[in-house]
């Protein structure tokens, strides 16, 4: 039977993947406190619907960094997608294109940038800065030439978090899947990360912005302090994120960090968010709190595992339809009508 929601896709995916690969995709750092809290944070808000509004013509259309998208939902950068399904990043790109949104391609993709570019998807490139400066410069030039519209610099991963599921299972990326940035070889997530610089700082952000001439999106901001610095260092947008609970365990759920960041930014840069989004109602909650769009990591990944390109597309369509339904039932015709008045904190019992 066809799955009806993201959670059913995850259950199917868990049965299809080997234990080590499922642990890599599903898992988080240390005790996975933040991993769990990312989802729970959405349940701590209740929706306040308004009625007797004509919602016959509701639209989920949105825009980010001047790019029109059909739904305020982007595909987050996720490494090693050909491990999920042979369609890999190319299948994910076609799925994103089919629903009219942007795909962020990971630095650790297992499909080539050219193949992804050939799908014509709206695309941003997620950057981990290599230690080798020549490789770093070459990478940026290459990405620009391949038509990526923004650089998503991931800032919460100077070093890799400790993911005990992977250490226990001995998870390795199979040799037959060459990693974009590294080429062929035998890697664990940890050994692959040895090529990445732990020394990137705020001054590199401005250098990257001028060298690449691409908008810079800083992914992994969790505090008002860093959000202010992002505004001062030429970021075009930020992603409020804790890397899906895979980096520093015990940080706040990304949704809980959103209000202080919305305040601190005061409209100067666009604010995106990811972590724990599994339902259309999650999306409208993040938007009501001031995010412009959300990124989804694991949700479309489970679709990719279950049905390749078609499965990833189905998950994105389900989420899009859930967003539309939530909007209509909230009494909104457009995304821009969502506001904090649509939310109330849920009483703890």
Task: Give one word for 196, left, alpha or beta, with left for phi > 0 and alpha for psi -120 to 50.
Answer: beta
> Of 65, 73, 179, 277, which lies in the binding site for ligand FMN, with binding defined by CB under 6 A?
277
Residue 242 beta carbon to ligand FMN: minimum distance, rounded to whole angstroms: 8
Give 287 or 332: the residue with its C-beta nearer to ligand FMN: 287
CB 221 within 8 A of CB 243: no
Question: CA 138, CA 113: separation in Å to the nearest integer?
Answer: 13
Does position 130 interact with ligand FMN (CB under 6 A)? The reply is no
Tokens linked to 106: 């990971």
Is residue 297 involved in binding ligand FMN (CB under 6 A)?
yes
Q: Name the token pair of 86.
A: 């042979």
Phi-psi label, residue 317: left if phi above 0, alpha if psi -120 to 50, beta otherwise = alpha
Q: For the segment 232-251, give every residue that binds ligand FMN (CB under 6 A).
A: 241, 243-244, 246
**Footprint of ligand FMN on residues 89-128 (CB under 6 A)?**
106, 108, 126
Element (H, E) at 239: strand 237-240
Pick from 71, 79, 129, 291: which binds ligand FMN (CB under 6 A)?
79
Q: Which of 176, 233, 243, 342 is catalytic?
A: 243
Q: Can residue 38 be called a binding residue for ligand FMN (CB under 6 A)?
A: yes
Cα-based distances in Å from 17 to 108, 181, 280, 346 = 20, 25, 26, 36
Q: Which stretch binds ligand FMN (CB under 6 A): 60-68, 87-95, 294-302, 326-334?
A: 294-302
**Interaction between residue 81 and ligand FMN (CB under 6 A):** no
Element (H, E) at 69: strand 67-69
To ligand FMN, the closest distance from the beta carbon of 180 in angstroms equals 10
Other CB atoms within a 10 A radius of the CB of residue 259 amount to 13
Q: Tell me the closest approach of the beta carbon of residue 6 to ligand FMN, in angstroms.
A: 10
Q: Is 34 in the site for ligand FMN (CB under 6 A)?
A: no
Is 219 among the residues that bind ligand FMN (CB under 6 A)? yes
Helix crossing, 88-99 with 298-330: angle to 10°?
10
273: contact with ligand FMN by CB under 6 A: no
Count the Cβ atoms, other than its own, within 10 Å of residue 138: 12
φ/ψ of residue 332, rounded to 5: -115, 140
Q: Which is nearer to ligand FMN, 108 or 148 (CB)?
A: 108
Whether 233 is catalytic = no
Residue 154 binding ligand FMN, by CB under 6 A = yes
User: 157 with 222: CB under 8 angstroms?
Assistant: no
CB of 261 to ligand FMN, least distance (A): 15
Nearest to 36 by CA among 201, 253, 203: 253
> Residues 156-195 vs ligand FMN: string with x where CB under 6 A?
----------------------------------------
- Interface ranges with ligand FMN (CB under 6 A): 24-25, 38, 76-79, 106, 108, 126, 154, 219, 241, 243-244, 246, 274-277, 296-298
Show which residues are catalytic. 243
């Amino acid at each position: 039977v066809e799955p009806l929601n993201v959670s059913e896709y995850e259950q199917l995916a868990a049965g299809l993947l080997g234990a080590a690969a499922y642990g890599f995709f599903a898992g988080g750092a240390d005790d996975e406190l933040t991993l769990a809290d990312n989802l729970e944070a959405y349940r701590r808000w209740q929706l306040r619907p308004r009625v007797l509004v004509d919602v016959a013509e509701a639209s989920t259309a949105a825009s980010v960094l001047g790019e029109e998208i059909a739904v305020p939902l982007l595909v987050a950068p996720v490494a090693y997608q050909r491990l999920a399904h042979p369609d890999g990043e190319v299948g994910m790109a076609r799925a994103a294109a089919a629903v009219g949104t942007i795909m962020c391609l990971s630095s650790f993709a297992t499909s080539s940038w050219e193949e992804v570019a050939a799908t014509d998807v709206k695309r941003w490139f997620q950057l981990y800065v290599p230690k080798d400066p020549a490789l770093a410069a070459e990478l940026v030039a290459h990405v620009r030439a391949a038509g990526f519209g923004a650089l998503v610099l991931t800032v919460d991963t100077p070093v890799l978090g400790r993911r005990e599921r992977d250490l226990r299972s001995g998870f390795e990326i199979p040799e037959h899947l060459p990693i974009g940035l590294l080429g062929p070889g035998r890697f664990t997530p940890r050994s692959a990360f040895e090529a990445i610089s732990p020394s990137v700082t705020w001054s590199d952000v401005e250098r990257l912005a001028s060298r690449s001439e691409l908008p810079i999106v800083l992914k992994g901001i969790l505090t008002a302090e860093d959000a202010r610095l992002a505004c001062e260092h030429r970021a075009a947008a930020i992603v409020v994120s804790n890397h899906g609970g895979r980096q520093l365990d015990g940080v706040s759920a990304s949704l809980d960090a959103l209000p202080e960041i919305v305040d601190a930014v005061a409209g100067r840069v666009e604010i995106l968010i990811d972590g724990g989004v599994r339902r259309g109602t999650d999306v409208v909650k993040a938007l009501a709190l001031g995010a412009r769009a959300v990124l989804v990591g694991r949700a479309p990944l489970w679709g990719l595992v279950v049905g390749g390109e078609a499965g990833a597309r189905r998950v994105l369509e389900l989420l899009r339809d859930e967003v539309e339904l939530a909007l209509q039932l909230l009494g909104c015709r457009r995304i821009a009508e969502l506001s904090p008045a649509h939310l109330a904190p849920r009483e703890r019992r």
